[in-house]
Structure 1
Amino acid sequence: IGVVIMDEFHFYAEPDRGWAWQVPLLELNRAQFLLMSATLGDVTLLERDLARRTGRATAVVTSVERPVPLRFEWVMTPMHETIADLLSTNQSPVYVVHFTQASAVERAQALMSVNVCRRAEKDAIAEMIGGFRFTAGFGKTLTRLVRHGIGVHHAGMLPKYRRLVELLTQAGLLKVICGTDTLGVGINVPIRTVLFTGLSKYDGTRTRLLKAREFHQIAGRAGRAGFDVAGTVVVQAPDHVIDNARTLAKVGDDPKKRRKIVRKKPPEGTVGYGEATFARLVAAEPEQLTSSFAVTHSMVLNVIGRPGDAFANGRKLLTDNHESRPAQRRHIRRAIAIYRALLAAGVVERLDTPDAEGRTVRLMVDLQRDFALNQPLSPLAYASFELLDRDAPTYALDVVSVIEATLDNPRQVLSAQLNKARGEAVAGMKAEGIEYEERMVLLEDITYPKPLVELLEAAYEMYRRGHPWVGDYAIEPKSVVRDMFERAMSFTEYVGYYSLARSEGVVLRYLADAYRALRQTVPEEARDEALGELIDWLGEVVRQTDSSLLEEWEALRSPAEVAAHVPGRLDDAPPPVTANARAFRVLVRNALFRRVELAALRRWDLLGELDAEAGWDGDAWRAALTPYFAEYGDNLVAIGTGPAARGPSMITITEEPERWLVRQVLDDPDGDRDWAITAEVDLNASDEEGAAVVWVTDVAPA
């Protein structure tokens, strides 16, 4: 490697990934480096270190002159007035910076009372949006906002929604964008003004003031070259500061009256700031970058796997890095402990004499391709498939649970599942008359779903004995894909059930990761028909919700297609949902079984929401099934919802050119199997909707 270009080099100081920016500097001594960032700060130590390692003169470009100059302003007007002033003085698009996703959406909705766009501009927005598919949930909110000239942008949104906001902004049609700091990372969006709603944030541990680097990174999005000749950065004073200033203005200069005023304080749990904080951040240089080196099993294995003396290579890496001497000693002790564990497990062995490539230690196992870079627990998942019962009716879902346990936790989804489970548990305990104190104790044992937790934890411990490097990664049993499938829910229904509208993007990325892991990790010999259908179903759910995630992955798997792939068009649409007949059959089966589950729970209200348009409101469903419950018992087991109830023998699908005719049999306790839900599936409407469009025609015995 002759030249290494590292953009966004300020990530060197990130605790979780800073090592990835540092290791190339340590190891590629013959390369020429170009390290870039607008917020590097003092790089004297890096300059000297690079010159020493590469033997090249190191040039530092320290010019702070921006091609588009920035003007900084502290304002004491309420937020609505501030935004109105910016719009009236032609300083849009305005990016309103928030530090939580919820506050960004709330601000955007509050701005609906402001006349942001003219009628002609709203017409242009509607024309550009065209037939763009907005789903239920957050899609309904976003379509109202963007048609009013207001955008929302944060990491919890579906990628297609973020892309929509970016394209409308590039076209000059959105005047205000409320978002978090996801906007601007690798995206060329013309933001003329950045408006800070605050100068403090919660960093996952505590609420603190912004660092100079963070402030300048966000402020630097104002005034983009090629779009503007100048940019504006506005910082909004806190509400309590504005209120105090107004109160003081009312009493004038009378010192007695001013002393009697009780000044408002920052809200509890927040960090106060004022104009002095603003001035300090504007003038401050970014903080000096600090080293974030780390030693893992995979790093030790990669050093051992390279040609040459592993001990000499490891010693150089551990003692000639950018860490302090005490930190280096900690890393050395950890590396020695990892090496001894690998040696004891038989993963590596010491050689009496160096091999042909100079190795003094060699690996005794084959590591998977892209080891520790892509699903490091995949080999554990592969080994765990043999522990499952192939004949069990839940086999396909058990395979899914194994894969899900190796994926990163979607924190927002698991939190919503936990809240839902605890809410249902509290309701049940209240109905049983359990006292408050006992309820609180019992709630500690309630968690989100963790299928196969005992089997997977035992498999993990056994696997770790022979593969110590997996100790760097935790097995995390959970149920998102499985939960969604067992509940027979669509993506929109699942998001609505757990109130995850603001985190749709998190849900979709997790589903896409699960689909890729299932495709890549489960060997053909471990697949059966049910599992194949489930994988196809999951892929189609992701594709119909937002095809961009899978299109990018599939394009990267086929490099020849990358050049032809043109992302970012508003008319991008997934293929017809009926084109994948295998996956569509699963969607149809799930849609019918969803009605079975709701009927078993007597949720006439939800059944009415699904089928009122077809003439089957809640009252119609209740009336149709009253004779059934009179015959088989009015209890929660009168309609079966287990694996047998959703088996292929319980549903009949007759395919016709423009519709499918479906008959879903109800699993009654006597085994009569004479009652059924009959329905038609409109194929054209399904393609337009991206989901199975079902019209119930009858609920009755044969």
Structure 2
Amino acid sequence: MPSPSSTAAARLEVPGGWGTPTPEQLFDAFTQWVASRGMSLYPAQEDAVLELADGNHVIMATPTGSGKSMVALAAHFFALARGERTVYTAPIKALVSEKFFSLVEVFGPEKVGMVTGDSSVNAGAPIICCTAEILANEALRDGAEADLGPVVMDEFHFYADPHRGWAWQVPLIELRGGHGGRSAVQFLLMSATLGDTSKFERRIAERTGRDVVVVSSAQRPVPLSYEYSTTPLVDKLQELAEQNLAPVYVVHFSQRAAAEQAAGLMSLNLLTRAEREQLGERLKSFRFAKGYGQTLSRLLKSGVGVHHAGMLPKYRRLVEQLAQQGLLKVISGTDTLGVGINVPIRTVLLTGLSKYDGSRVRQLNAREFHQIAGRAGRAGFDTEGTVVVQAPEHVIENLAAERKLAAKHAGDEAKLVQAMKSKPKKKPPEGFVSWSEKTFQRLIDAEPEPMSSKMQVTYAMVLHLLNRPEDPVMAMRRLITSSDESPARQAILQRRALDILRELLAAGVLERLAEPDGDGRTVDLTIDLQDDFALNQPLAPFAVAALELLDPEAETYALDVISVIESILDTPYQVTGAQVKKLKSERIAELKAEGVEYTERMRILDELTHPQPLAELLGQQFEVYRAAAPWVADHQLAPKSVVRDMVERAFTFIDAVNFYGLARSEGVLLRYLTDAYRTLRQTVPTAKVSEELADLIEWLGEVIRQTDSSLLEEWERLAAEDDPAKLAELERRQQEEDDAAAPPPAGFTANERAFAVVVRNAMFRRAELFASELEEALAALEREHDPASEWADPDRWGQALDAFFDQYEDVFVDARARSAEYFRLEKHPAGKPGFWRAVQVLNDDQGNHDWAIHAWVDLAASDEAEAAVITVHHVGELRI
């Protein structure tokens, strides 16, 4: 059955004149709408929809591809008909966002909203899409008084997630509904890998007074076949393609492995001539940037895609679109496809059955295996899906060697035995956790493991409970004792809650009341908290307070503000790890040159960390702030320098990617830059934004837009006013982009304010190289754009350096030297239309400032190159 969002049809609307609808009216209206789209419900879907219409809770434990999304649509429709508010929740923002647009298509933009930790759109709508944490916070704040009808919890197996499972359990405990009678809250819990659900059935029924019905089916709409392969991977993929079992999703358990494997698949003969021509035409207008984009372009033209979280969003979306159009035969990716990735797959091929889970290498559990394997087979397209598991690589190689020896010594058993004995077998790599065909068969037959409780207690949870019209101490005790934790674990959580309560009292955030108030509270807040303190960036208030420590007149003020903001953002470990690696490679060369002993070298290198500007100052301030706001202890301050590093090094996005070797992690870097841009825009008070900082924020936004505007557009969409017309327009544009390649962003120089920052950074970079007397590096910058220039010759720079240092001892490249005082920019000077004149004054040690680097900036060439095209024409006497 096609997905609801894949078939254009009339909106699903509540008929007029119903009054209070009966279950029969609800069911008939929904099934008529389904039929109008040329579809019919599967038996399991029909059972679930009937139970929802009757007002029962439903646990839908059916295989992937069995149409759970259609059942969720029914829950939302019934809520609208009954005049209730309904929520859809999922574990990741990408899935929430995808569902938001799908529901807008079905119900219309005025009826659907989205709430995330960053912002919200149409938050007053009767249908809300949100992450599990948002729903959990509402459940904590409002409890039994929450204004909710149907609550759809997708991918409910995340209940067992070690870090986020609490957010899936809290709503089940707290959303009991109104006082007396049947609860208004109605749960629809959905997952293909729930395992034993008896405890959920029993406890939800007890808490809400509604019946709980389990709709389960081992019968997949598209059945699966399984194969254990000892054929080398490349040969196996060619075989699957020839058997018409493509598209194949090749599952790896690291981004590096997915990217490296894809590069080895371009030799496969996957496409017909007609398919190659169609694919080439489709890619002709797509804008591939430098960096990984060039590699991906070559892969896609051979029918091979790559898909993982480290890629730019525009590349992931392109791969999904090409796969949906049947133009890709093989997609090399990671196991993230188990959480609703929108890629149609006929065959899933797992490269292994063991993975590193963040602490150790272990075999996949049954739930993980079935989540991944269940993506094989496309409902409405395939009659069968295929799941292939490769034997360990060393096993495959040893079997291949044995077959080769058997062919060589055919008919001579003695020689064959001797050859087998003398031939050394390839061993598995160190730390390898093996698997076999028996492992594979065990996972196929195994039921998903029981889901264990992962309840937590945090400062934020305690503060949310203080909004309740009841005693928060008793509310927290009930929450803990109602959880699925063991008695011993419940005792630990209660001690943790008491510790938090004592700290909040000691800090003066809470006070004990002499007598319980009208709502039964024995403690109450002494301060006003912002309503969304736990939803937005948790440490944003600290950042605002820390800005008071900075001197607005300091040369480094703008960069220091950026460092404050960066300290409250999640750390992009791939980026900071690459920074450390780069620092170590540079430092080890210096230490060797200095003759430092090996042991001492290793000690020094072990102590190196990524750059952490203002770490000491911010750390001290954080401790002071924490004394008055103990809840920030739930979060860690993380000083880092990514945006600041790009500014100080005059890096473009591609410069940063190339310098730190981040081609496989471009998406991680872009996501971080987008978060930094959004937080700078939202968090820094207007009074704290200097002109230089405003320029840098504008520059950062342009870097993001020129790299991949989709993340920025997503945030701007969420930050927009609640305007159904705007949402409808966004949907129209989204559809146009799906039908054709998105046009490239405006010219690189179009945003003059941002481009001026690029030019300024590039000119200061030349001053830094000049100060370090690196004539070859200076000449290389000129050769990039004008090989014929006199300044493309290192000797010419050498002459200028000799002349300067004959006159001066040093040139400073500190924060003051970077300031606007030493930079001049003239736009479109007389006689040079289409050019800017840029001048970087050198800050000499005598303070004369009579030397400068003079250059022309070619705007048209910069647009074409998507980088500042700067050519030096004079180095020497300052010419105003």
Q: What aligned pairs does 1:161-560 form with structure 2 within 5 A after superposition?
A: 161-183=315-337, 185-246=339-400, 257=417, 260=421, 264-558=426-720, 559-560=722-723
Query: How many Å separate the matches in 2 of 1:220 and 1:636?
Result: 71
Q: What's the CA shift string for 1:52-108, capped at 9, x where partnerless? A: 111111111120211111111111111111011011111111111111111111111
| 2:248 equivalent in structure 1 | 94
Q: What's the CA shift string for 1:600-647, capped at 9, x where partnerless? A: 334455445543232267972423322222123399974432223222
Query: How many Å separate the matches in 2 of 1:133 and 1:676?
Result: 38
Asked whether the 8 Å contact 1:616–1:696 carries over to 2, the reply is no
Q: TM-score by structure 1 length?
A: 0.95
Amino acid at match of 2:564: V
Asked whether the 8 Å contact 1:95–1:194 carries over to 2, the reply is yes
| 2:150 equivalent in structure 1 | 3
Decide whether aligned partners of structure 1 residues 363 and 572 sit closer, same or farther in structure 2, where only a CA change above 3 A counts.
Answer: farther
Decide whether aligned partners of structure 1 residues 54 and 688 sit closer, same or farther in structure 2, where only a CA change above 3 A counts.
Answer: farther
Asked whether the 8 Å contact 1:305–1:362 carries over to 2, the reply is no
SS in 1 for 2:214: coil
Q: What aligned pairs does 1:41-120 form with structure 2 within 5 A after superposition?
A: 41-120=195-274
Query: How many Å separate the matches in 1 of 2:837 and 2:621?
Result: 45
| 1:633 equivalent in structure 2 | 805
Give the CA deviation at 1:197: 0.8
Asked whether the 8 Å contact 1:193–1:222 carries over to 2, the reply is yes
Asked whether the 8 Å contact 1:241–1:274 carries over to 2, the reply is no
Decide whether aligned partners of structure 1 residues 600 and 224 sit closer, same or farther in structure 2, where only a CA change above 3 A counts.
Answer: farther
Of 169, 172, 176, the residue aligned with 1:25 is 172
| 2:289 equivalent in structure 1 | 135
Decide whether aligned partners of structure 1 residues 602 and 210 sit closer, same or farther in structure 2, where only a CA change above 3 A counts.
Answer: farther
Q: What's the CA shift string for 1:393-438, capped at 9, x where partnerless? A: 0011111111111111111111111122222222112121111122
SS in 1 for 2:250: strand
| 2:277 equivalent in structure 1 | 123
Decide whether aligned partners of structure 1 residues 608 and 152 sit closer, same or farther in structure 2, where only a CA change above 3 A counts.
Answer: farther
Asked whether the 8 Å contact 1:190–1:227 carries over to 2, the reply is no
Q: What's the CA shift string for 1:187-243, capped at 9, x where partnerless? A: 332111111111111111111111111111111121122332321111111223224
User: In the comparison of the two structures, how many residue pairs are matched?
Assistant: 702
Amino acid at match of 1:647: S
Amino acid at match of 1:564: E
* Deviating more after overlay: 145-154 vs 259-268: 259-268
* Deviating more after overlay: 126-135 vs 533-542: 126-135
Of 659, 666, 669, the residue aligned with 2:842 is 666
Amino acid at match of 1:382: V
Decide whether aligned partners of structure 1 residues 153 and 303 sit closer, same or farther in structure 2, where only a CA change above 3 A counts.
Answer: same
Of 559, 564, 567, the residue aligned with 2:729 is 564
Query: How many Å separate the matches in 2 of 1:456 and 1:323?
Result: 38
| 2:759 equivalent in structure 1 | 588
SS in 2 for 1:34: strand
Asked whether the 8 Å contact 2:779–2:794 carries over to 1, the reply is no
Asked whether the 8 Å contact 2:790–2:796 carries over to 1, the reply is no
Decide whether aligned partners of structure 1 residues 10 and 101 sit closer, same or farther in structure 2, where only a CA change above 3 A counts.
Answer: same
Query: How many Å separate the matches in 1 of 2:380 and 2:432?
Result: 38
Query: How many Å separate the matches in 2 of 1:688 and 1:284?
Result: 57
Asked whether the 8 Å contact 1:94–1:192 carries over to 2, the reply is yes
SS in 2 for 1:111: coil
* Deviating more after overlay: 75-84 vs 654-663: 654-663
Give the CA deviation at 1:357: 4.1
Amino acid at match of 1:661: R
Of 826, 833, 836, the residue aligned with 1:654 is 826
Query: How many Å separate the matches in 2 of 1:437 and 1:422?
Result: 15
Amino acid at match of 2:836: W
Decide whether aligned partners of structure 1 residues 458 and 264 sit closer, same or farther in structure 2, where only a CA change above 3 A counts.
Answer: same
Give the CA deviation at 1:529: 0.9
Structure 2: segments with no counterpart, 5+ residues = 1-147, 178-184
Give the CA deviation at 1:469: 0.9
Amino acid at match of 1:469: W
Q: RMSD over aligned Cα, in angstroms?
A: 2.4
Q: TM-score by structure 2 length?
A: 0.76
Query: How many Å separate the matches in 2 of 1:244 and 1:514?
Result: 50
Give the CA deviation at 1:151: 0.8
Give the CA deviation at 1:117: 2.0
Amino acid at match of 1:206: R
Query: How many Å separate the matches in 1 of 2:789 and 2:287?
Result: 26
* Deviating more after overlay: 259-268 vs 367-376: 259-268
Asked whether the 8 Å contact 2:776–2:794 carries over to 1, the reply is no
Give the CA deviation at 1:311: 2.0
Give the CA deviation at 1:184: 6.1
SS in 2 for 1:29: coil
| 1:614 equivalent in structure 2 | 786
Asked whether the 8 Å contact 1:666–1:674 carries over to 2, the reply is yes
Asked whether the 8 Å contact 2:791–2:872 carries over to 1, the reply is no
Query: How many Å separate the matches in 1 of 2:531 and 2:319?
Result: 38
Amino acid at match of 1:588: V
Asked whether the 8 Å contact 1:661–1:679 carries over to 2, the reply is yes
Query: How many Å separate the matches in 2 of 1:46 and 1:696?
Result: 71
Decide whether aligned partners of structure 1 residues 184 and 571 sit closer, same or farther in structure 2, where only a CA change above 3 A counts.
Answer: farther
Q: Identity, % of aligned pairs?
A: 55
* Deviating more after overlay: 636-645 vs 623-632: 636-645
SS in 2 for 1:633: helix
Give the CA deviation at 1:246: 4.4
Query: How many Å separate the matches in 2 of 1:312 and 1:382?
Result: 34
Asked whether the 8 Å contact 1:160–1:546 carries over to 2, the reply is yes
Asked whether the 8 Å contact 2:775–2:797 carries over to 1, the reply is no
Asked whether the 8 Å contact 1:547–1:573 carries over to 2, the reply is no
Amino acid at match of 1:91: L
Query: How many Å separate the matches in 2 of 1:625 and 1:201?
Result: 53
Asked whether the 8 Å contact 1:348–1:364 carries over to 2, the reply is yes
